[in-house]
Amino acid sequence: MPEELTKGTTPTTRNPGIDFVNFKHPVAKTRDFGGEAAWMNARYKLVANSKGAAELFDLQNDPLEKTDLASKHPDIVDSMQKEMHRWQRSVEVSLSGADYIRAR
């Protein structure tokens, strides 16, 4: 890839002291993202660990996240995991450049 195409488009490009280069993933991951992640909506927070286990907290009634509700609300866990994975896939696709239209 030509070097000029790897130059960043973030506000740091205005600072000559910062040399930002975009990292392009060769292939987008579509599953098995690994690592730890969290996903929130207006009421709940889902916390997923690297082994695939998930915790669910009701932020309205338990703002200190002391009570894991995952076993009591598997439907909410499933729904939030699907939302999080959809977002993770979209980020991976973007990092691979697959969602950009290339000029010919």
Q: Which residues pair with 22 in a beta bridge?
A: none
Residue 103 in this model has a pLDDT that exceeds 80: no
In a domain, 29, yes or no: no
Total of domains in the chain: 1
Tens-place pLDDT, residues 42-100: 999 999 987 778 999 999 999 999 999 999 999 999 999 999 989 988 888 877 776 76
In a domain, 17, yes or no: no
In a domain, 63, yes or no: yes
Rounded to whole angstroms, the Cα distance separating 13 from 6 reads 12
In a domain, 10, yes or no: no
CATH code, 91: 3.30.1120.10
Residue 70: give the domain boundaries: 34-96
Rounded to whole angstroms, the Cα distance separating 67 from 57 reads 6
Rg of the chain in Å (alpha carbons):
19
In a domain, 84, yes or no: yes
Look up the pTM and report it. 0.68
